[in-house]
Amino acid sequence: MTNRLASSTSPYLLQHADNPVHWWPWSAEAFEEARRRDVPVLLSIGYAACHWCHVMAHESFEDDATAAYMNEHFVNVKVDREERPDVDAVYMEVTQAMTGHGGWPMTCFLTPAAEPFYAGTYYPPQPRPGMPSFGQVLESIAAAWANQGDELRESAAGVVAELSQRGGPLQPSTVDEDALSGAVVSLLGEYDRKRGGFGNAPKFPPSMVVEFLLRHSERTGSVQALSMARATCDTMVAGGLYDQLAGGFARYSVDASWVVPHFEKMLYDNGLLLRAYTHLSRRDDNPRYREVVRDTAEFLLRDLGTPQGAFAASLDADTDGEEGLTYVWTPAQLVEVLGREDGEWAAELFAVTADGSFENGTSTLRLLSPVTDRDRWDRVRAALLKARDLRPQPGRDDKVVTAWNGLAISALAEAGALFGEPRWVDAAVRAAVLLLDVHLVDGRLLRTSRDGVAGTAAGVLEDYGCLADGLLVLHQVTGDVRWLDTACGLLDTALARFPVLGAEGAFFDTADDAETLVRRPSDPTDNASPSGASSLASALLTASALGPDRAALYRTVAEHAVARVGLLAARAPRFAGHWLSVAEALHSGPVQVALVGTSPELTAAARTAIHGGGVVVAGTPDSAPLLAERPLVNGAPAAYVCRGYVCDRPVTSVDDLVAALRPQRT
């Protein structure tokens, strides 16, 4: 028997292809082998940028004695959670139910019928207080299977039955004006007034919550909502979470003050945050926000762009097995690169001290005060980045994930249009072309590709929703109707394949013809990225505002979907940020701007003044559904501002357009 991961398109699985463990990919053949041998399945789930996944691999999976024991007593299955989010979701629910927490690497033990009977996360090679060693766990499970196999099978079947009883779609509950205002009040209760963000350590960038707060502030004038959004964005980019030299955001901060990040950089975080800072920058004339948008967009193109035209999944947390090695500095290192005068200036500016803010006297770079000398700032940053590029670099997971590329397409296209950067729009177009050429096969999406070669995993609901959303932004930015048509095709497929029958607005995360798992996942919560259902609802609402033939149906389904998350939004608004943003757009109309004729001035004004969730399309009356039957005014370009297809009179001046786009508050 040999390791079977060598032909995978997942860099994470390839990292384990040379392990002495006889890994199988997730497959029917693996479970058939477990039945043939009458042994349990050891399921290990992780991802390429995961620090503790690397740690457990080095400590246990590369150890010959441990591997030999695993091979003798188990069929060992390795899963990339980013490639198979459906498998990850099912067994993460189990792990959280059994242990009270989750995380990666995830370690589950299953019967040959894939039913779980024991679950955990990272296990060390030696026992620790309150934590057994990995070897002890293996021995206990193997002994229990040998002596109490029937009881374990019965227990596993009971676990699956209990989880199935917990399931079912959320009951409808209105997300009305009171619910939206109540969500802001609830968020205030969890808001960190001193350090920004929500909750304590570890602290994650709340990109979707920020988006909701911005939209709520735009619609209602709420000072509290805007203050929370702005202060959170300020503190994030001042800390080590943000890469002060190259742009881009790390996954989260290990402390509550945004000082030390978990250094992995994920495409989904940076796509979502790029869009949030883009929206903040059009509301707030702050050069720091514009700088963050520009640098983060360039980070996506430079560091995550693939030769085929799309965007890689992530950069690793580790460099040569050491977390943060690429990114941290000492005062002496700054002086070595910059010279005494600039080095000391940089140390003070970036809060790099002799004691250090990280490990072994090193510091992350933070920017706690405004830069007053821009020329010096540009010179110092360029020199430090050039020196940093000569250091060993973190690994890159260069698989292309459909949903996450959809988020990047949306962000780059919108930022490129607003900032007058056609390169960013062109990059979004290239990514969309790659996804449609490689990931869309016979009208159905695949989840991933690598080096232009499609993976085998089927697309899940978030792939359809996020990619459709990205294509709808491209339609608005380029005026090309093919993006609208393709997006609507994806939405129609999602509506046919993913709904929970008999529950309007409820959706499964996997299609009706997807691989059957012990449970069909359906998670409505927004976590690190939008849930599949909320991403679909967002795209449906946007498409409905752009005027295709099925606009009324799309809006109705979006309304039904939002109506199912009222309790979630009320009880846990931090995990309903994208849902709340969609609800805000529903309450706003959403606003539609149809720009007929060629007027760069009107187009720029519309993109700057549009409300969150609104749509802007420019072109000729026959170029897009939203523009149909909207003529020029006395031969001059005109803007039609509409809310739910109820339009104001057309305007031809920038001032009148901006006035027409002011929120209609009561």
Cα(332)–Cα(269) distance, rounded to whole angstroms?
32
Q: How far apart are CA 590 and CA 554, in angstroms?
A: 13
pLDDT given for residue 473 in this prediction: 98
| Residue 629 vs residue 581, higher pLDDT | 581
User: What residues does 45 pair with on adjacent strands?
Assistant: 79, 106
- 488, pLDDT greater than 70: yes
Is pLDDT of 549 > 80?
yes
Please state, for a pLDDT cut of 70, what percent of the chain lies above it: 99
pLDDT surpassing 90 at residue 321: no
pLDDT at 644 over 90: no
> What would the two tokens of residue 89 be?
């979701």
Question: What are the distances in angstroms from CA 502 to CA 10, 151, 169, 371?
Answer: 37, 36, 10, 58
pLDDT at 633: 94
Contacts of residue 46, defined as CB under 8 A and 6 or more positions apart, other chains included, come to 12, 53, 79, 80, 81, 104, 105, 106
pLDDT at 1 over 60: no
* Average pLDDT of every residue of the chain: 95
Confidence bin at 623 (pLDDT 50/70/90): confident
State mean pLDDT over 599-609.
Answer: 95
Q: SS in 3 state form for 417-480? A: HHHCCHHHHHHHHHHHHHHHHHHEECCEEECEEECCEECCCECCHHHHHHHHHHHHHHHHHHCC
pLDDT band at 173 (very low <50, low <70, confident <90, very high): confident
User: What is residue 622's predicted lDDT score, i.e. its pLDDT?
Assistant: 86
Predicted confidence (pLDDT) at residue 437 exceeds the cutoff of 80 = yes
If pLDDT is split at 50, 70 and 90, which confidence band does 163 have? confident
Mean pLDDT, rounded, for 539-567: 94
CB 91 within 8 A of CB 108: yes
Q: Where are the beta strands (DSSP E) in 38-190?
A: 41-46, 75-80, 106-110, 116-120
pLDDT of residue 21: 97
In this prediction, residue 268 carries a pLDDT of 98
pTM of the predicted structure, to 2 decimals: 0.95
DSSP 8-state code for residue 303: I
Bridge partners of 203? 253
Label residue 480 by pLDDT band (50, 70, 90).
very high
pLDDT in tens, 305-317: 999 999 999 999 8
- Confidence (pLDDT) at 412: 98
Say what the pLDDT of residue 3 is: 76
Tens digits of residue pLDDT in 356-409: 999 999 999 999 999 999 999 999 999 999 999 999 999 999 999 999 999 999
Q: Mean pLDDT over residues 55-81, rounded?
A: 97
pLDDT score of 666 more than 60: no
What is the structure's pLDDT at 548?
Answer: 83
66: closest CA among 152, 145, 6, 126?
126
- CA distances in angstroms from 395 to 263, 264, 362, 452, 638, listed in the order given: 12, 10, 21, 19, 50
Q: What is the DSSP string of 334-366?
A: HHHHH-HHHHHHHHHHTT--SS-SSSTT-B---
pLDDT computed for residue 285 by the predictor: 82
Q: What is the mean pLDDT of residues 263-278?
A: 97
Nearest CA to 88 out of 33, 43, 29 is that of 43
DSSP per residue over 285-302, as a string?
--HHHHHHHHHHHHHIII
* pLDDT, mean of residues 470-478: 97
Q: Does 645 score more than 90 pLDDT?
A: no
Q: Which two structure tokens, joined as six digits, stand for 460? A: 């899940």
Report the pLDDT value the prediction gives residue 493, as an integer from 0 to 100.
98
8 Å CB contact between 380 and 342: yes
pLDDT number for residue 167: 66
Give the pLDDT mean for 106-117.
97
State the pairing for strand pair 41-46/314-315. Answer: unpaired
